[in-house]
Every structure is written in C-alpha cells, then in structure tokens.
Structure 1
Amino acid sequence: MDALSVVTQLRDLASEPQNRAVIVQDEGCLPGLVLFLDHQSHDVLLATLQTLRYLAELSPNILTMKNELGMMVSLESLTERKDLPLDITALAQEVFDILRAPANPVSRTPESQRRKKSQFFINSSSKKAKSVTLHIQGLDSTDQRSLCEEALLKVRGVISFTFQMASKRCTVRIRSDLPTESLASAIAATKVLSAQQVVKNEAGDEVFVPLNPSGVEVQQNSAIPDYLPEEEDSPEREVDRAISRTTAKSDSNGTWLSSAASFLSKTFYW
C-alpha cells in the first residue's frame, strides 16, 4: 500500500456524492489528505487536489475542510509554487477559493444550483490555459458521463471540465500546449464515445470540426491502481451511510475505507 494507491482510491470514492460526508467525517482521511498536499510526487498532489475538489462539492463539508489543521496554508503554498505543472496550481487555487468563500452565499436559485451540479473541477483563472468545447457522441446517460470523466481525468494537462448533458457537450479547460486531438483520443479509447470540436464560423454559427484521434499519444497522469486489499487487523469504524465506489462494488467498501484510514494513521501519526 502506498500514497498514490490510497489517494487515487479515495478520489474514486469521493467521486460518488453519497460518500463525501463519510470521508470528511472519518478521523483519519482528511488529515492524511492535508499531509499529502506536501508530497513530492506530482501524481499524488494532483489526485489529492481532485479528491478535495470532489469533497468540497458537498456544502456541509466546506467548513470542516477549511478548519482542518494545515489545509488552507498547504493549499495557498501550492498556488505560489513555480515548480509545479499548471494543472496542479490551478486546481489548488480553485479548492482554496471554494473553501475561503463565505459559508452563506447571498442567494441560490434553482438555475444556479443546476449549474453548480454540472461542474467538475471548473476553473477560469488561468491565463496559460485554453477552453475547448466538445460534442460527444454517445453521451446519453450518467454511465457514459462517468466513463468520459474517467477518460479525461487520465489525460495529463486537463485542468477542469463541465458537462452539458442535454446537448451532449463537454467544455474542457486544458493547458495551452495540449493538442485537442489528445482529448478525442482519450474519449475514443472508451470504445463507446467519440468527440468532435464545437467552434463558431465566420457567420457566428456553431459547427462541428472532426478530430482525428488516431496516432495521437496521450500523456496520462497515472494508471489507476488496483483497489486496496482488506487487512485483517484494520479497525472498522461504523458509519452512518454506505461507502460505494465506481468499480468492484461487491467488495466491502466500509472495510476498504478503514484500511485506507489505517494506512494514513500508521504513516503520519507516531
């Protein structure tokens, strides 16, 4: 069991909305994630920030996360580092801004709530990034959306993305040096989805531009490792709702979370 294995799987758990409260309430997971923000591995840093971004989607989590010892200091430190890739510093800034925002917004209209739910790692502050709008053939359900999310998450250089399910579109914010064809190649690798770029012509009308994914090398953040084995000596904590994850759903999810928390405790608390 290593840091990357733990944090990538916590990220997978956090991607399921019903798990986010449980993860934040666990006494070992959140402190461990804060300590991972000081990790030397860029892959660990990115996966940790993605996990925190997921957890911050649940509004009641924000105050707990903000008050966690070292959280805001570590996030701010990441935003100021010049030796990190743009996708890491941009996401660190986004998570920092979310946690720093007022706890009680002035108003929340149904439309704004719908927009919020459709966003994923959305960030518009970086000047060294570009936005690409894709029309994704086959984007017909939440299952296909999850498949597309997993594909985009693996592409190194993807900073954020948001879906418009009704129009089968995905707006992706990427590093300026990342070819758009890399996105099409990653999406085509799902075998059930394909992507075209949406642009405006001289008349201002939207048109679809075919993207050729063949022969395009996609740089990946990291391969998602196998799920952690259960440990016989891992203490199991009772939780008020079930933990679930996107794959291997027949395994004992509560035991897995205990295993991860046990790893964090043994690694960072002595």
Structure 2
Amino acid sequence: MMDALSVVSQLRDLASEPQNREAIVQDQGCLPGLVLFLDHQDTQVLFATLQTLRYLAEWPLNIPTMKNELGMMVSLETLMDRAGLSDDITVLSREVYSILNAPPRPPSPDRRRNKPQFFLNSSRGKNKSVTLHIQGLDTTDQRGLCEDALLRVKGVISFTFQMASKRCTVRIRSDLPTETLASAIAATKVLSAQQVLRNEAGEEILLPLRVSGGGVREENQMIPDYLPEEESPEANRAHAVSRTAAKEDASGSWLNSAASFLTKTFYW
C-alpha cells in the first residue's frame, strides 16, 4: 500500500543516482510534493524528504528551481526553528537551506545537458552500489558482525570492505532503501553507518541515515531472499560476499502507483 513514507523513500533512492537528479526536479509533481512533505508530522517522512532534497541540490542546475519553488525556503526556515525535532533533522534542514541560499556557481564548460531519463533509469536499473562509512569497524571481529548483519538483509547482492578507511561498498537491489542497511548495522549495538557521497567539487560528505528500532524495515520482507549479480564485481574482491539466484521481476508498477498517490494527495 502506497503511503507518504514509501513514496518519499523511493524518491530519495532515485535521487541518490546522479543521472536522475535534474529530471526529478523538472517533473511537475515531485518538487511540490517534497515541499509539502516538509510540513509532515512524521519525523521519518521529514528526514527522508530532507535527504532527497540534499541529493537533488548536489546538481547545481537544480538549485535555482528548488530555491524558487513555492514554499521551499519558508518551509525549510520553519523546520529549522521547529521545536522537538531530532538534531539530525535540524542539521540537515540547515544544510539544505544553506546550499540553496549560497551564491550560484557557474557550470563547468564541459557539462552536458542530456535529455532527462528519470522514468527510464528508474525502471531499468536493477542494482546499485552504496558506500558506507562504518563507525566502529576496527577489527576482524567487528567486520564479522557487519557481514552477518548485511547477509540478513534481503536485497543485498555483494559487499566489499576497506578496513583502513572503515568503508564498506555494498551492491544492493535498486529499490532497497539505504536506511535498511544502516538499521541492520545499528542492530549490532557496536557499529553505526553513514552514507559516503561526493559533492560537485569532488569532496566527500557523510550523509546521516535514519535508523529504525526494529533493524530491517518491514517493506524489505517483500524482496526475494537471493538476487543475481548483474555486473562483474568491482576491483577488490578479497572480502566480497555474493549471493545469486533467479532474476528479479523488473516492473515499473511503482512509478504508476506513486504518480496516482501524488495526484490524489496534492491535487484535491
């Protein structure tokens, strides 16, 4: 069943792919919907919405449109001053507000303006790679705990550790929320995870991930136990773990359901 949290979580995961960011902002329904989600009472919806906006703001050409979207800056200001919210929501709202308010940067001369492929990419992509910075990943025992946690997550295809930098690169099904990985890792009680991203300047940033108390999120139960590795694994395979089996059902039904939900919710 479609609800606000599932819709914004899917948009966030689509926005995590750089090739989708411009097209999401250009879509007539997505950006107004995200602005309305900034007033939502559910803190999980708020946090996922801010994560989505943070991803979208990584594409400089999106910033003028986002800043001028009706209610965007006012809603962010209200959220920054709203009492009773967690620190991660407050910090992330201030970060998004600062990015949108910063002086515009001229685009690189070689930047290409490709035709948006939002719906095409979202239905074609079957898996993606996520890099996590894992606090507490210091010993082989702790790596073992992390491996066990990730192996229990349906939708994980493979993972590779870089112990020196406390990083783990995880290949997952494209519709598996990244926060599910963070929740599984946090369930070890000794490890915690943040997502590693790069901004337009090539600098690494760490994105906080919302952790649910129950470990693996409920919607993850609908994902098959085992998934195929579609591509050749990346360079370092020393500590990679893979699970393979039948092909996933490549269905674009979520996009139709989300469009219907947004229309009924936002245009009454």
SS of match in other structure, 2:196: strand
Partners of 2:60 and 2:105 within 8 A in 1: no
Gaps of 5+ in 2: 110-130, 144-159, 199-203, 222-246
**CA deviation after TM superposition for structure 1 residue 257, in Å:** 3.3
Aligned sequence identity (%): 52
Cα offsets for 1:28-70 (capped at 9, x unmatched) = 1110110000001001101111111111111111111111100
For 1:25-174, what aligned pairs fall within 5 Å after superposition? 25-104=26-105, 138-139=160-161, 144-145=169-170, 150=179, 151-152=181-182, 161-162=195-196
Q: 5+ unaligned residues in a row in structure 1: which ranges?
A: 109-119, 121-130, 165-169, 176-185, 187-217, 228-246
8 Å contact 2:183–2:213 — kept in the other structure? no
Partner of 1:199: none
Q: CA RMSD in A?
A: 4.5
Which residue of 2 is the match for residue 225 of structure 1?
Answer: 219
For the 8 Å contact 1:28–1:262, the answer to whether it is kept is no
- Whole-angstrom CA distance in 2 between matches of 1:173 and 1:12: 13
Q: TM-score, normalised by structure 1?
A: 0.54
Aligned match for 1:256, one of 254, 257, 264: 254
Query: Distance in 2 between the 1:51 and 1:160 partners?
Result: 15
- 1:149-228 map, 5 Å: 150=179, 151-152=181-182, 161-162=195-196, 219=213, 223=217, 225=219
Q: What does residue range 14-33 of structure 1 map to in structure 2 within 5 Å?
A: 14-33=15-34
Does structure 1 conserve the Cα–Cα contact (< 8 Å) formed by 2:13 and 2:178? no
Q: How far apart in 1 are the matches of 2:96 and 2:218?
A: 22
TM-score after normalising by structure 2: 0.54
- Please tell me whether the aligned partners of residues 87 and 159 of structure 1 are also in contact (alpha carbons under 8 angstroms): no
Give the Cα separation in 2 of the matches to 1:134 and 1:173: 18
CA distance in 1, matches of 2:193, 2:72: 21
Q: Which has the higher contact order (CA 8 A, sep 6+)?
A: 1
Residues 86-111 of structure 1, C-alpha deviations (whole Å, 9 max, x = no match): 11111111111111111126999xxx
Question: Number of residues paired by the alignment?
Answer: 184
Q: Give the CA deviation at 1:264.
A: 1.4
CA distance in 2, matches of 1:46, 1:133: 24
Runs of 4 or more above 6 Å deviation? 105-108
Deviations 1:199-246 (A, max 9, x none): xxxxxxxxxxxxxxxxxxx7369827369xxxxxxxxxxxxxxxxxxx
Q: Within 1, Cα distance between the matches of 2:94 and 2:194? A: 12
Code of the aligned partner of 2:251: D
